[in-house]
Structure 1
């Protein structure tokens, strides 16, 4: 590190004196300013930590909200023709509006509405962004889970009910375990998309990885290295989580064969 600092100081002095630097020397100066000067690499690490926290919070909200919406909508769709529940029908209509609106409007617009209108008085922009991402993810997760539940043979539900199990017990013990295998890849993909979408919360002042990069290039007046570094970090995170999801899917497949 001391050697790199000496090289940086020497090249900075040459540049200040008007000396023409080679492309490699100029690249080194920009790289040093973007990542090493004033321990700026710590800002990237802090940004990664915030990004992971936002992703985890948004994922938890999305799975809980999406699972609830999916269960209600499936329960409504599986009612017998002449035994319709009016309250369930009303709630189902509201949830369909929620899914349609969230999936039909851009994430950026949703973030701006939440950050500048609904939570305009809040200063915790990062958590406002996490909440918005979770609500957005919930709409997509609900359709993923609903599709998986509806794909299970209806005879499975009928078999459970014929054994004296109530609706919820049948769903939890029989239907959902079978649906998990089909919805897991899509849920994993939604998680990856959610991780990358955390970069959007910078539009309302959320302090995550891209925010850290913006703060650095606003001081160094050099965009390329901070943004390239951010892109590489996101790529590495996505590759790690893709590998972990693939490993989990293989383990789940092995347990099914036993």
Structure 2
């Protein structure tokens, strides 16, 4: 095991860390919108809407992310000519967009269940009180339920970010220059295996460990507010 590759190949790992963090952050942000729609559809009185959202969630959660990324990249975007330019100097837009869409679709299925659980955790009596004051169902959801549900949802969204930091490594299979791609590129060029992989593992840990500790702190603060 040797780290003699670092002086020459460190930029691949540095850019891979940036790419991984951008992918994870944008995926969570983008996934929230369809996830809210899916959660509200799951809670709808319409059987059709419940069936559509339920089927979508089960299909996404029941198939591997690698298959989903491949379908989006080779199938959906295979016939679309995306502009081949570099974002921030090292992100290939033609690969970045399909990857982030695939990750967002996958994440939305999981976040939708988180949001649904957060909404159901709000006391039903508050909904009844709001309706008794003349609010419509939409006003009640927008002004009473969702603001309170956010408090229950935020820690889980943070956990989803931590998960996506690790799961974004699947994008290396289609040539996206994230952290694992940099490790594999270094392995192929230097014929060193353990060094690049251990460095990638250490960098993933450096990204996820502080985020996990921060989430734990936020959750403790929220519980302290509930106790008061």
Whether contact under 8 Å (2:28, 2:157) holds in the other structure is no
Q: Deviations over 1:130-180 (max 9, x none)?
A: 110100000011011112212323222111111122223222332223333
Query: Which moved further from structure 2: 42-51 or 149-158?
Result: 149-158
Residue 228 of structure 1: CA displacement?
0.6
Residue 72 of structure 1: CA displacement?
2.6
Q: Distance in 1 between matches of 2:123 and 2:17?
A: 42
Q: Deviations over 1:162-200 (max 9, x none)?
A: 112222322233222333343333333222111111000
Give the aligned partner of residue 159 of structure 1: 129
Q: What's the TM-score, normalizing by structure 1?
A: 0.77
Give the aligned partner of residue 149 of structure 1: 119
Residue 255 of structure 1: CA displacement?
4.4
Alignment of 1:1-258 (within 5 A): 27=1, 30-33=2-5, 35-36=6-7, 38=8, 40-74=9-43, 76=44, 79=45, 88-121=46-79, 122=82, 124-256=94-226
Q: Distance in 1 between matches of 2:218 and 2:57?
A: 29
Q: Distance in 2 between matches of 1:250 and 1:168?
A: 32
Q: What's the TM-score, normalizing by structure 2?
A: 0.86
Whether contact under 8 Å (2:35, 2:112) holds in the other structure is yes
Higher helix share: 1
Q: Distance in 2 between matches of 1:184 and 1:54?
A: 19
RCO higher in structure (CA 8 A, sep ≥6): 2
Residue 89 of structure 1: CA displacement?
3.8
How many residues end up aligned between the 2 structures? 216
Q: Distance in 1 between matches of 2:143 and 2:219?
A: 20
In structure 1, stretches of 5+ residues that fail to align are 1-26, 80-87
Larger Rg: 1
Whether contact under 8 Å (1:70, 1:146) holds in the other structure is yes
